[in-house]
Amino acid sequence: MLNVIALRYFVETVRLGSFTAAAQSLQVGQSTVSKMVRNLEDQLGETLIVRSGKPLLLSDVGQVLFEKGSQLLWDLARLEQEVHAVQALSKGQLKVGIPPMINLLFTAALKEFRERYPTIQVQIIEQPGPAIERLVALGELDMGFSIAPIATDLRLAHNAVVNYLVYAVGVPELLPRNKAPISLQQLSKKPLLFLNDDFGLTRLLRQHLLLEQLEPKVYAQSSQADWLVSMAQAGLGIAVLPQPLCQRLPEDLVVRVIEQSQLLHWEVVMLWNGRYLSQAAKAWLECCLPVFQENHWQELEQQLQSILS
């Protein structure tokens, strides 16, 4: 493999037409330049510069090396500039996976990121949590968010960042008005409306139902939370939804928190492949910190200190 430093000394010597001028340009002694060029010739087993007078004469190999070597050094300089640019967050690309159910939580973070790093291209992949987990594990996403519990068969690093309560939503005929929490055991006896099985919330619910050995009566499933609310309003069943989707429900619907041993929580988890987190991903994470609840702030900040450093 060619010595890049020796190649640079050779190209500079030919470009300026003398060892003396090259030494001045490179800010080294003339003997150093001569030695590096000689070492390059020894490595190639070819004479590059014919030292028989002025101007310098190049051998056929020397001419090829000068032309191609000049381009190579220019390409290397550009590569170094681009690497430094990415490190300095002046350009680059960031691919983040966010489940559709929580995408609105990150609008402010996206705005902040765009203002800080306008030259970084951000690509948001909207998929259910389990699909995002697979894409992150495969390295197709820089990082992503999902809903706990995450898949145990994937090599993923993760941190819980925020959690919300889970609610049962239905008409009074199916879900009597009461401020007290309702249990999964009570719900399992009623027609239920779930999100599709590829959603993290449904995975969470089925896990708890299995632990309690309960057989739920799932009347319908959909990937659209709005449709579940519409079906609940029509009296077709009780929709199970996380707190962020229960802020603006029709007034005729009853909303009760679900409790199973303790209150059931819909926990948002940040995940990455555990091997590498890009500078752009770290910058995105910093912009996302205000999204997370205050009661998670100190704990989360400690957990992520090693990631952001």
| CATH number for the domain that contains residue 298 | 3.40.190.10
- Do 97 and 156 lie in one domain? The reply is yes
pLDDT at 292: 66
CA distance 112 to 201: 28
Helices (H), 88-239: 107-116, 129-137, 184-187, 200-211, 225-233
SS3 string, 83-107, reads HHHHHCCCCEEEEEECCHHHHHHHH
- Percent of the chain's residues with pLDDT above 90: 33
15: domain CATH number is 1.10.10.10
Confidence band of 85 (pLDDT split at 50, 70, 90) = low
pLDDT at 297: 42
pLDDT at 106: 85
- Show Cβ contacts of residue 107 under 8 Å, excluding neighbours closer than 6 positions: none
Confidence band of 233 (pLDDT split at 50, 70, 90) = very high
- Do 174 and 136 lie in one domain? The reply is no
- Do 77 and 156 lie in one domain? The reply is no
Q: What is the mean pLDDT of residues 179-204?
A: 91
225: domain CATH number is 3.40.190.290
Q: For the chain, give the mean pLDDT.
A: 85
- Do 121 and 256 lie in one domain? The reply is no
Indicate the number of domains in the chain.
Answer: 3
- Do 101 and 182 lie in one domain? The reply is no
pLDDT at 272: 85
User: Range of 282's domain?
Assistant: 92-160+267-308
- Do 230 and 303 lie in one domain? The reply is no
pLDDT at 302: 52
Q: Which helix (H) or strand (E) holds 239?
A: strand 238-242
Please choose, from the candidates 10, 8, 25, 23, the residue with its C-alpha nearest in 3D space to the C-alpha of residue 56.
10
Q: What is the mean pLDDT of residues 280-302?
A: 65
- Do 241 and 197 lie in one domain? The reply is yes
- Which of 109-118, 211-220, 281-290 has the least mean pLDDT? 281-290
Mark which of 87, 102, 123 sits at the end of a domain. 87
Max CA-CA distance within the chain?
104
- Do 178 and 250 lie in one domain? The reply is yes
244 pLDDT more than 90: no
pLDDT at 300: 47
Question: Which amino acid is residue 176, in one-letter code?
Answer: P
pLDDT at 238: 96
* Segment 112-147, tens digit of pLDDT: 899 988 988 899 999 988 889 999 888 889 889 998
- Percent of the chain's residues with pLDDT above 70: 93
Mark which of 87, 111, 146 sits at the end of a domain. 87
pLDDT at 295: 41
pTM over 0.75: no
Helices (H), 168-296: 184-187, 200-211, 225-233, 279-288
- Do 169 and 194 lie in one domain? The reply is yes
Q: What is the mean pLDDT of residues 225-241?
A: 95
Mark which of 87, 111, 145 sits at the end of a domain. 87
240 pLDDT more than 90: yes
- Which of 141-150, 191-200, 300-309 has the least mean pLDDT? 300-309
pLDDT at 53: 66
- Do 169 and 260 lie in one domain? The reply is yes
pLDDT at 237: 96
pLDDT at 54: 72
- Do 147 and 169 lie in one domain? The reply is no
- Do 280 and 257 lie in one domain? The reply is no
Most confident of 6-10, 93-97, 233-237: 233-237
290 pLDDT more than 90: no
